[in-house]
Amino acid sequence: MKDLWFFLKLFKPHRFYLGAGLVLSLLTAFASISLLTLSGWFISSSALAGTAISFNFMLPAAQIRALAITRTVGRYGERLLTHEATFRVLASIRSWFFLQLIPLVPGRLATQRSGDLLSNMTSDIDALDALYLRLLAPALVAALGVTAVVGFLYLYSPLISLTTGTLLLIAVIVIPRLFNRLGVAGAEAIVSLAASFRIRQIDMIQGLSDLLANQAYSRFSRVLAKLSSTMIDTQCHNNRLSALSSALTLLLSQITLLAALVLAAISYQDDHLSGAELALIIFCVIATFELVTPLPQAMQMLAKTQKSASRIRQVAELTPSVIQPKQSLSIPNSYDLQLENVSFRYSDNLDWVLKNINLNIPQGAKLAIIGVSGSGKTTLLQLLMRYFDPELGAIYLNGHNLKQFNSDDLLLNFGVLSQRSQLFAATIKENLLIAKPNATMLELNVAIKLAGLEKFISYLPEGIDTWVGESGLKVSGGEARRIALARLYLKDAPVLILDEPTEGLDSETEQEIFSSLAKFAQNKTLIMVTHRELGLSLVNVIYSMDLGVLTEMAVV
């Protein structure tokens, strides 16, 4: 339950909507019970009174009309407010969750699969709507409603009140708890199975071309179908439990009604109740069970809600890979970088990725690091940008430890061009403005010209406002790399980080990009990871990385 209490704290900013929804739910419930109760008494009294002039027909009729209007308006207002409150809460939780993810990039988040994160942000958070709408609100309304009805019946017959109250408690507490226990394994399994299904589905969509090329689609689809079948079977099992819980609650309501009817009839024979009061009691009992009918099914959802809440917290409460200083230093005007005895590994049970690295990078230096894949080159770049902190040793910027700087401030001074620069499902212009949101059209045109995009954009009917598609699918690999390069130029940071910047490009495009970079980087620090000889023309010092050990190879 601690996971659910944690999320209840996030409800606080919307307490007005939540509280108003509860008040209207109570008002509607009491109006519904009162309407049926008063109607039963009025019909019986009217029948017994016959044409007696002394019986006041007008007042009860007016009260019934008022209760009917109250119930109708209250029901509309209740649905409006409770759903508004739920949507606002879910929106807040999604914003909160996304904010928790930002400090985890890229270190801790790299261990999470994109499909699982998508499941966290959609189905898991959606499952939390049950916390207020289907659990908290109905439970509070049922508790207060049952208490009020038992107290009301006590005024007419303590025995009927006690009997009805006992059977209602069974309906409110025993049956929901029983079916919560029976359905907890299935509800938790559905959450896990749905997440696994989504992960597998996304993997198949992203790798569809490779699966088809290797005749592996049928094999993967069979695994997905098996997972789907398991999920459907689990849902069917839980649906059967829901149907059984509803049937038991309905049976209990009939038993309660029969017991109340028998006890009321005995009281009537003993002249403790009038005929109209007997009808009032019976109709009151009938109306009360509307409050408790949804509870068993709602309690079955409790396990699913708890599991979803737990999954969200597991990700949101991961420790960031770097801890921001309470009082950060201002970024200096010079950018001399120095690594002293730096060693790093991703976790205690893994081998060292970097081993005792010592490296001086004065402002304006241009160096390249070469080595086979997995030798630690990219990890070294990530340490320089403080994606991670070294486990041993330290990295200094102008004589100050990088840990003394805020990571966001630090990243403003790094321009990054990686082998997999992300293009978003937006226009070319919007993708460029990521680097500098307030850039003028003149600045955009300069960056476009430096990146060699002028000719390409001139052929496009919508020009710079052309949609690039999801992950840049509507542009070629070379043009996508040029858009990323233009973004680098637009940012115009003093330190350039290039990680295999021309990976996958043809030699002509590669030559054009390196020529453009050579001019742009003249007065900047340039640190490049590459395995292509052509790119080495940009640098004056070359280092080799092998199994985490850095060695100077040549000074150009």
Q: The tokens 């209250």 sit on which residue? A: 74
Q: Spelled out in words, what is the top-level CATH class assigned to the domain 16-316? A: mainly alpha
Closest C-alpha among 542, 543, 494, 499 to residue 520: 494
CA distance 516 to 530: 17
CA distance 408 to 404: 12
Rg for the chain (alpha carbons), in Å? 34
Q: Is 411 exposed, middle or buried (0-12, 13-18, 19+ CB in 10 A)?
A: middle
Pair type for strands 354-361 and 337-344: antiparallel
CA distance 482 to 474: 14
The CATH number that domain 337-555 falls under is: 3.40.50.300
Reduced to 3 states (helix: H, G, I; strand: E, B; else coil), residue 329 is strand
* Cβ neighbours for 68, distance < 8 A, ≥ 6 positions apart: 35
Q: Is 226 exposed, middle or buried (0-12, 13-18, 19+ CB in 10 A)?
A: exposed
CA distance 46 to 477: 84
CA distance 305 to 295: 15
User: Strands of 366-370's sheet, edge to edge?
Assistant: 414-417, 495-499, 525-529, 366-370, 541-546, 549-555
Question: Could you tell me where in the chain the CATH 3.40.50.300 domains are found?
Answer: 337-555
| pLDDT tens, the chain, 556 aa long | 677 777 777 888 888 888 888 899 889 989 988 888 888 888 888 777 665 555 666 777 888 888 889 889 988 998 898 888 888 888 888 888 888 887 777 666 766 666 667 777 777 888 887 788 888 888 888 888 888 989 999 998 899 999 998 998 888 888 888 887 888 888 788 888 888 888 888 778 877 878 888 888 888 888 888 888 998 988 898 888 888 888 888 898 889 999 999 998 998 888 888 888 888 899 998 888 888 887 777 777 777 788 888 888 888 887 877 888 888 888 888 888 898 999 998 877 888 888 898 989 888 888 888 888 878 888 888 888 888 888 899 999 888 898 888 888 888 888 888 877 788 888 888 888 888 888 888 888 888 888 888 888 888 888 888 888 777 778 877 788 888 888 988 988 888 988 877 776 677 777 877 888 888 888 888 998 877 777 787 888 888 888 888 887 766 5
Reduced to 3 states (helix: H, G, I; strand: E, B; else coil), residue 50 is coil
Closest C-alpha among 496, 325, 474 to residue 409: 325
Q: The tokens 């630690």 sit on which residue? A: 376
157-171 exposure pattern, b = at least 16 Cβ within 10 A, e = fewer: beebbebbbebbebb
Q: What is the pLDDT of residue 322?
A: 81
Q: The tokens 């001399």 sit on which residue? A: 336
CA distance 76 to 89: 20
Q: Two tokens at 37?
A: 């109760």
CA distance 395 to 403: 8
The CB density around residue 80, as the number of other CB atoms within 10 Å, is 14
One DSSP character per residue, 500-512 reads: STTTT--HHHHHH
One DSSP character per residue, 402-467 reads: GGGB-HHHHHTTEEEE-TT----SSBHHHHHTTT-TT--HHHHHHHHHHTT-HHHHHTSTTGGG-B
Q: What is the pLDDT of residue 55?
A: 60
pLDDT single digits (tens) 292-311: 887 777 777 777 788 888 88
* Cβ neighbours for 241, distance < 8 A, ≥ 6 positions apart: 179, 182, 183, 186, 300
Q: What is the pLDDT of residue 387?
A: 85
Q: Two tokens at 142?
A: 């049922």
Question: Could you tell me where in the chain the CATH 1.20.1560.10 domains are found?
Answer: 16-316
CA distance 160 to 260: 6
